Amino acid sequence: MHATSEKSSVGIVLPQVARFEEPLALTCGRELSRFELVYETYGTLNADRSNAVLVCHALSGNHHAAGYHSVDDRKPGWWDECIGPGKPIDTERFFVVSLNNLGGCHGSTGPCSINPATGKAWGRDFPAMRTRDWVQSQARLADHLGIDCWAAVVGGSLGGMQAMRWSLEYPERIKHCIVIAAALKLSAQNLAFNEVARQAILSDPDFHAGDYLQYNKVPTRGLALARMVGHITYLSDDAMATKFGRDLRSGSLVQGSDTDAEFQVQSYLRYQGSQFSGNFDANTYILMTRALDYFDLALEYNNDPVAAFRHASCSFMVISFSTDWRFSPARSREIVQSLIAADREVSYAEISADEGHDAFLLPIPRYIEVFSAYMQRVGRSS
């Protein structure tokens, strides 16, 4: 039993659902007449409601960021390394809110939900989401929970982009913005990888142009392939070398051997792909990668991130990882440089880590120290 035996775990958590009946106008011009958000909370909201921390998830994340859903649960939430008693986002001190974003496939309204207009699943007709739509819906959730101002909004990768968007859209509702392994916008290379992932899904015959639910099919091969491509970009060359090298899982490279050799890295990627394809919705994956592609913090500010950040009033902590090539330290330094030029409060740490982009999920000692130190500052001002 994991949940109760670990002192640093938030233990067993129960997802909750918030229902919103007021229409939500979306960036794409359409609106959701009503929607639901599934979320979890950890820790206790204090009397003056000043200790709330919003955790924004990345591409394939969900509301289950910490703790366990049952005593038999084998794996904790996706950011359990950073959320819990004595951890950087210390639940003894903070009230943590983690939700599944709109368009997700883990309980919040998304492509698998029923479209009230048709009585059928939305499928490919679910409206496109932008980061600002998520931020708007998260603000509704804050209203629902009685939180006027977040002590901090925190996120890694696409989550960091939501945190930055928060600082511009609701400057009066966020005191600290923690941006980990993120970027002001995607590079052409980032866009290219996302396109390969989407094409993998689109080319699966079971995808049926996005209407696979009506055919009782799931494009698992396409989804698995998409995840495999994505996964390569989350790891560093060094991390893969250390973890797998050229180790063989089966077969042989000896001369005269006629069987196919299979490298460890092949089976690892296939395992990751098949695990993912059983738990994730293909339309959601397409929606999430598009939201990532479309994110461009400064687009509405004449493409000037300095002008954009002048709308923010919170303090920023930016963290990057040395071997992250998806959103490299150079991308984070662009964020920092813009914040300095905009005369905003900012701290920046570049963590040496072999793990690539995935490092933001892992208990790397210096990362945990820096993150904890900044959260102490957040705690003092909350």
Footprint of another protein on this chain (CB under 8 A)? 315, 317, 333, 336-337, 340-341, 343, 345-350, 366, 369-370, 373-374, 376-377, 380
Q: Please state, in angstroms and rounded to a whole number, the distance separating the CA atoms of residues 311 and 295.
A: 17
Contact residues for 190 (Cβ-Cβ < 8 A; gap 6+): 183, 292, 293, 326, 327
Q: How far is the CB of 324 from another protein (least distance, A)?
A: 15
Q: Please state, in angstroms and rounded to a whole number, the distance separating the CA atoms of residues 104 and 129.
A: 10
Q: If you write DSSP's letter for every residue of 125-144 in order, what string do you get?
A: GSPP--HHHHHHHHHHHHHH
Q: Is 324 a catalytic residue?
A: yes
Q: How far is the CB of 57 from another protein (least distance, A)?
A: 25
Tokens 């859209």 map to which residue?
169
Q: How far is the CB of 9 from another protein (least distance, A)?
A: 25
> Nearer to another protein by C-beta: 187 or 322?
322
> Nearer to another protein by C-beta: 147 or 346?
346
Q: How far is the CB of 283 from another protein (least distance, A)?
A: 40
Q: Is 231 a catalytic residue?
A: no
Q: Please state, in angstroms and rounded to a whole number, the distance separating the CA atoms of residues 4 and 259.
A: 48
Q: How far is the CB of 379 from another protein (least distance, A)?
A: 11
Q: Which of 133, 357, 358, 382 is catalytic?
A: 357
> Nearer to another protein by C-beta: 134 or 374?
374
> Nearer to another protein by C-beta: 292 or 336?
336
> Nearer to another protein by C-beta: 59 or 342?
342
> Nearer to another protein by C-beta: 240 or 341?
341
Q: Is 357 a catalytic residue?
A: yes
Q: Please state, in angstroms and rounded to a whole number, the distance separating the CA atoms of residues 325 and 334.
A: 15
Q: How far is the CB of 333 from another protein (least distance, A)?
A: 7
Tokens 């899904």 map to which residue?
201
Paired tokens of 243: 């973890």
Q: Please state, in angstroms and rounded to a whole number, the distance separating the CA atoms of residues 347 and 154.
A: 14
Q: Where are the beta strands (DSSP E) in the chain?
A: 16-20, 24-25, 31-32, 35-42, 52-56, 83-84, 89-90, 95-99, 114-115, 120-121, 152-156, 176-180, 248-250, 262-263, 315-321, 346-351
Q: Do the Cβ atoms of 284 and 111 come closer than 8 Å?
A: yes
Q: Which of 324, 332, 338, 358 is catalytic?
A: 324
Q: Which of 157, 320, 328, 338 is catalytic?
A: 157
Residues with active-site annotation: 157, 324, 357
